[in-house]
Amino acid sequence: MLHNYPSQVRIVDVSPRDGLQNIKTTVPTEVKTTLIKKLCDAGIQHIEVASFVSPKWVPQMADAEAVLQQLPPREDTSYIVLTPNLRGFERAIDSGAKEVAIFAAASETFSQKNTNCSIAQSLERFEPIMLKAATLGVRVRGYTSCVLGCPYEGDVAVTEVVRVSKALIDMGCYEVSLGDTIGIGTPIKAREMIASVIKEVPAKKLALHFHDTRGQALANILACLEYGVANIDASVAGLGGCPYAAGASGNVSTEDVVYMLHGMGIETGIDLKKLVAVGHYISEQIAGPNHSKVGAVYK
Amino acid sequence: MLHNYPSQVRIVDVSPRDGLQNIKTTVPTEVKTTLIKKLCDAGIQHIEVASFVSPKWVPQMADAEAVLQQLPPREDTSYIVLTPNLRGFERAIDSGAKEVAIFAAASETFSQKNTNCSIAQSLERFEPIMLKAATLGVRVRGYTSCVLGCPYEGDVAVTEVVRVSKALIDMGCYEVSLGDTIGIGTPIKAREMIASVIKEVPAKKLALHFHDTRGQALANILACLEYGVANIDASVAGLGGCPYAAGASGNVSTEDVVYMLHGMGIETGIDLKKLVAVGHYISEQIAGPNHSKVGAVYK
């Protein structure tokens, strides 16, 4: 049996944004910037550091400007910020953002409930962002959410995942991150989804953003690695939660992903020991659980 | 890419033995028998219910006789008991055991530390058990432990895993359960191990007994399912722990395994909703954490 795994994987740690956004505690700016610096020191070169969303909706991200401004520029590191609309994008640029992420859904109901507009409208809203980003030389990362299921609609058509992901690439995103937003997928479904998407978007332009809500994330990642996808989003300490299931866990833990990849001989450039220490640091700071199983072993 | 997954998987729930043995709390006999009955009601037909080991070493299993005697006989269910030696085997038979499990290691140091004898000696010790079992018509299941690594030796040679597993089959075990005792393996290693073992032991005579200590169990199971292995050991609520890493989790949770299998279209005969309720029952009884992520979602 042949398995064409990549020899190298790029990890995007999303804990400062997707992680901290989904916990109740509001974390001081200094703790956020320390977390980010520690992630850099562990060898993570791509970090989603904040979201320029309205503080009315997401108070945990109210200090997005401060976070971005206080981070030391690093040649080797990309600080990514989520910008849901043009206003957020402009705030991000004013704070010095060099890379942003935009967010679309493969489920019509999720798009309506989460961003208050249809999928088509959300893609239209991104057009002025893409234009400005191109002018400014700002890189844009796209997200397609609900790629393996929707909290409102249940099953999501793979054709919609393909269509939305291709649209994001066609409008200029350098990569699309495929989100199993509610961690509902299982390996065959994940594999079938990837197999369809790579017919329209090359594997090197895809990332996996799988939540571990039902413990399936690593198995799903393994299934998709066979297709040459070599970008994985994860969250140190599995930081975060699931807004659709109280008490459930959120993003897959970066430590557990890196442990698997290193065990498979796949390089990440990350120092796992240091990474585990970062997981313990942030868990202590927020007085919350460390969801990483690797973290529980290497204390 | 072709993946030859089995259409059906047989689950062996080991929570009453491997789970409860590895927690500090001593659980009343009645709670154990209630747990086992509830597992039956959820559709689990193979349950490791106790260990006939010296109560001096494992006080949690001191009521092995009482557990076995108090269980109602069920035509459709196999109650398995661990019997480390002839004395344990005889106690088990006197209590009405119809199926026992014997336990060998693929690591010489682990064998010495865990059973106080060499691998060769442990296999010799099983001979009188196999003889008596054959006479009595008692089924014997074998375990090979440390198949992906040893807490003392680190790496374990695959040739040793093959040799010990084949020896167990050759002496009359109907199946060998391959234990990643410390949950240290990753998917490629797991796959290479299985690929070697099935050259000597047919896949249908193999089971996977993977601990989730580092969060890798489901990914490792997925990797091995491709080889046609269709027997999986798991523990409801991920009950148990790891004697080699305080605070770490133990067996992979049955709920999370069943969720993955059902999502892949693989039948188990198990009612996942009922199984989740069993996980919550036992977690409440022992006032311990429910390690199942599926359990955390479907409360």
Please name the helix (run of DSSP H) or strand (run of DSSP E) that holds residue A218, with its range, or none. Answer: helix A217-225
Which site among B2, B186, B258 would you substitute to test the A interface, given the most A Cβ atoms closer than 10 Å to its Cβ?
B186
Chain A contact for B293, CB < 8 A? yes
A188/B214 Cβ within 8 A:
no
pLDDT of residue A295: 96
Predicted confidence at residue A2, as pLDDT, reads 57
Judged by a CB distance cut-off of 8 A, whether residue B254 touches chain A is no
pTM: 0.97
Mean pLDDT value of segment B49-53: 96
The reply to whether residue B263 touches residue A188, judged by beta carbons under 8 angstroms, is yes
pLDDT for the residue B71: 97
Which B residues 265-284 touch A at CB under 8 Å?
Answer: 265
Report the pLDDT value the prediction gives residue B2, as an integer from 0 to 100: 57
Nearest CA in chain A to B212: A293
* Helices marked H in A59-181: 64-70, 86-94, 108-115, 119-136, 158-170
B245 — contact with chain A (CB < 8 Å)? yes
Q: Catalytic amino acids of A?
A: 242
Q: What kind and span of H or E run contains A263?
A: helix A254-263
Q: Which of A182, A212, A216, A283 to mutate to test the interface with B (most CBs of B within 10 A)?
A: A216
Confidence of residue B247 (pLDDT cuts 50, 70, 90): confident
- Secondary structure in 3-state letters for chain B: CCCCCCCECEEEECHHHHHHHCCCCCCCHHHHHHHHHHHHHCCCCEEEEEECCCCCCCHHHCCHHHHHHHCCCCCCCEEEEECCCHHHHHHHHHCCCCEEEEEEECCHHHHHHHHCCCHHHHHHHHHHHHHHHHHHCCEEEEEEECCCCECCCECCCHHHHHHHHHHHHHCCCCEEEEEECCCCCCHHHHHHHHHHHCCCCCHHHEEEEEECCCCCHHHHHHHHHCCCCCEEEEEHHHCCCCCCCCCCCCECEHHHHHHHHHHCCCECCCCHHHHHHHHHHHHHHHCCCCCCHHHHHCC
Q: Yes or no: say if B223 and B191 are a contact pair by the CB < 8 Å rule.
A: yes
Residue B57 or residue B237, greater confidence: B237
Contact A260 B216 (CB under 8 A): yes
DSSP 8-state symbol, A48: E
B247 touches chain A (CB under 8 A): yes
Q: In chain A, what residues touch B265 (CB-CB under 8 Å)?
A: 188
Residue from the list A2, A212, A214 with its beta carbon closest to the beta carbon of B259: A214
Q: Nearest CB to A188: which of B265, B292, B296? A: B265
Do residue A223 and residue B222 have CB atoms under 8 angstroms apart?
A: yes
**Does A219 reach chain B within 8 Å, measured CB to CB?**
yes
One pLDDT digit (tens) per residue for chain A, 299 residues? 557 899 999 999 999 999 999 888 889 999 999 999 999 999 999 999 999 999 888 999 999 999 999 999 999 999 999 999 999 999 999 999 999 999 999 999 999 999 899 999 999 999 999 999 999 999 999 999 999 999 999 999 999 999 999 999 999 999 999 999 999 999 999 999 999 999 999 999 999 999 999 999 999 999 999 999 999 999 999 998 888 888 888 999 999 999 999 999 999 999 999 999 999 999 999 999 999 999 999 88
User: Shortest CA distance to A182 belongs to which of A242, A113, A224?
Assistant: A242
d(CA A61, CA A91) in angstroms, rounded, equals 13
Asked if the C-beta of A139 comes within 8 angstroms of chain B's C-beta atoms, the answer is no
- Which residues does chain B have within 8 Å of residue A185's beta carbon, measured at their own beta carbons? 263
Nearest chain A CA: its distance from B245 CA (Å): 6
Average pLDDT over every residue of B24-48: 96
Q: Closest CB to A297: pick one of B245, B294, B296.
A: B245
Question: Confidence band (pLDDT; 50, 70, 90) for B124?
Answer: very high
| Cβ atoms within 10 Å, residue A265 | 11
Contact assignment for A247 to B296 by CB distance below 8 Å? yes
Q: In Å, what is the CA distance from B51 to each residue of A128, A192, B15, B19, B75? A: 67, 43, 12, 11, 22
Q: Which residue of A has its CA nearest to B261?
A: A186
**Candidates A221, A256, A264; nearest CB to B214:** A256
Candidates A5, A185, A293; nearest CB to B212: A293
> Are B78 and B98 within 8 A, CB to CB?
yes
Strand pairing class (A231-234; B10-13): unpaired
pLDDT of residue A45: 98
In chain B, whose CA is at the least distance from the CA of A188? B264
Q: Which of B1, B262, B291 to mutate to test the interface with A (most CBs of A within 10 A)?
A: B1
Nearest to B293 among A1, A214, A221 (CB): A214
Q: Is B189 near chain A, with CB under 8 Å?
A: yes
Q: Calculate how close chain A gets to B188, using CA atoms only, in Å.
A: 6
